[in-house]
Amino acid sequence: MTEFVRARRPEHKQQRRAAILDAARELARKDGVRSVSLGGVAAVVGFAKSNVARYFGTREEIYLELTAECWRDWEKAVLARIPEAGPVDALVDTVAERPLFCDLLSQVTITLEHNVSIPAAREFKREMHGIIRSVGAAVTAHSELTEPEGVELVTAAGALAGILYAAANPSATLCQLYEQEPEIAAMVPSFQPTLKRALAALMAGLPTLRA
């Protein structure tokens, strides 16, 4: 393991943080977010776990920052595509193109928002909510939905993407089960088509629920 030398200058600290995020990102792409430990990230970077904690308090804070990064990337993609593709296709196709984002979405509420500091949680939530409002406004501009309805559609897109991605990408044990039980396997949702139908139904139904 490389001998740890404390970063003194702000740019050096930022470089250390970037290296930790890069390592965590690549490990998640290879093994899945759930499988990555703080020790695994530290080993790739060449630090002890205690030294990684100088830059991120916990493993969850590392992945919460990566989730925010993915939200920003997705926002840009949706805003660029929505004028031509329309809200549902833009929301679904762009998220389907980002499996790491989907994996992170599947982990946010059940693990990544736990074991984090209040400042880290506050920063993440504020940024995420700002992005949802931004994309929701674009949905409103290219549909008959009101602005709150646009925000609701975007919120549902993120939540459903996480749930459906996890279901459509089962564990090794379930993959073996599905090989043995075709009738059970037939119930596994297809990620992109299922998400599109769900959001299309929600988009069509929201105006009917107005007071």
The domain tally of the chain equals 2
pLDDT at 177: 96
pLDDT at 114: 94
CA 151 to chain centroid, in Å, comes to: 17
Instruction: State the DSSP string of 125-165.
Output: HHHHHHHHHHHHHHHHHTSS--HHHHHHHHHHHHHHHHHHH
Residues 148 and 69 in one domain: yes
- 179-190 burial string, b = 16+ CB within 10 Å, else e? eeeeeeeeeeee
Residue 8, domain CATH: 1.10.10.60
Residues 50 and 139 in one domain: no
Residues 9 and 100 in one domain: no
Residues 44 and 63 in one domain: no
Give the mean model confidence (pLDDT) for residues 1-25: 75
Residue 118, domain CATH: 1.10.357.10
- Mean pLDDT computed over every residue of the chain: 93
pLDDT at 138: 98
Residues 84 and 111 in one domain: yes
Give the tens place of pLDDT for each residue, 44-90.
999 888 888 889 989 999 999 999 999 999 999 999 999 999 999 99
pLDDT at 8: 60
Long-range contacts of 6-13 (CB under 8 A, 24+ apart): 6/54, 13/55
Residues 45 and 69 in one domain: no
Residues 1 and 77 in one domain: no
Give the mean model confidence (pLDDT) for residues 108-124: 95
Res 1 pLDDT > 60: no
Residues 64 and 50 in one domain: no
Q: How far apart are CA 195 and CA 164, in angstroms?
A: 7
Predicted confidence band of residue 3 (pLDDT cuts 50, 70, 90): very low
Residues 40 and 70 in one domain: no
- Domain of residue 40: give its range: 1-56
Q: Are 92 and 157 in contact (CB under 8 A)?
A: yes
